[in-house]
């Protein structure tokens, strides 16, 4: 595998803006430092992200940036505890809650009020504000699929113009949850934790810059 790659900056419509050819095995991106710099991007950290070859695989790694490095999903993705998703302009955190144990019966045999269905919520999705504080939360339970969108779905964000009318589906698969793009305009991105593998035509978001990766075959 050669080390030559290209990073193509895309505009909001997906059209190329500028192209960066890279022939070294590593490429760093930042606002002030790095091989590729975007000094006008206030969402970009001074040194933000790094692309590198690891065992013939191109990976991206966040370098402790303020806003994270986002990789757009190209297929359904099984969510892991702590994952952050970018859906439209909303940052959504997935957390596993675990199965609660059986509730002990009351000593006087009085039946409790409240919903019996679902009997347990085992995960949650939390909308995060720009300062990282939680806002809205939706609970996830086995057998329940949740649709997210601007105009349609179980969880709607009518104030987000970058979200499609019906944008994403979080599908229940036994005790796991899988996020699926619902043919949205802007896709779904996952915040990089550790090294995330890239391939030809992968898209990443650093600051407010959308970059497409091109790897010659």
Domain boundaries for CATH 2.60.200.20 within the chain: 5-68+192-214
116 vs 86, which has greater pLDDT?
86
174 vs 63, which has greater pLDDT?
63
The CATH class, in words, for 5-68+192-214 is mainly beta
Dist. CA 42–CA 45, nearest whole Å: 8
Mean pLDDT value across the chain: 92
Confidence grade of residue 79 (pLDDT, cut at 50, 70, 90): very high
Confidence grade of residue 13 (pLDDT, cut at 50, 70, 90): confident
Which of these, 27, 3, 2, lies nearest to 204 by C-alpha position?
27
Instruction: Give the CATH architecture of domain 74-99+117-188.
Output: Sandwich (2.60)
pLDDT tens for 101-119 read: 555 556 666 666 665 555 6
Q: What is the pLDDT of residue 104?
A: 58
């Amino acid at each position: 595998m050669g080390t030559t790659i290209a990073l193509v900056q895309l505009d909001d419509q997906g059209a190329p803006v500028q192209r960066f050819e890279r022939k070294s095995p590593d490429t760093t991106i930042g606002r002030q430092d790095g091989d590729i710099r975007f000094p006008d991007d206030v969402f970009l950290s001074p040194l933000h992200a790094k692309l590198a070859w690891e065992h013939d695989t191109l990976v991206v790694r966040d370098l402790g940036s303020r806003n994270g490095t986002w990789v757009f999903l190209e297929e359904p993705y099984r969510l892991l505890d702590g994952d952050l998703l970018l859906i439209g302009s909303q940052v959504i955190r997935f957390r596993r809650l675990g199965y609660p144990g059986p509730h002990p019966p009351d000593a006087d045999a009085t039946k409790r009020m409240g919903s019996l269905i679902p009997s347990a919520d085992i995960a949650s999705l939390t909308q995060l504000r720009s300062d990282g504080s939680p806002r809205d939360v939706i609970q996830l339970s086995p057998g329940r699929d949740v649709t997210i969108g601007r105009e349609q779905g179980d969880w709607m964000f009518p104030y987000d113009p970058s979200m499609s009318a019906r944008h994403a589906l979080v599908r229940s698969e036994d005790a796991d949850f899988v996020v699926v793009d619902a043919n949205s305009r802007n896709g779904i991105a996952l915040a990089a934790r550790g090294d995330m593998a890239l391939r030809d035509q992968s898209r990443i978001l650093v600051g407010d810059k959308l970059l497409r990766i091109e790897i010659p075959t």
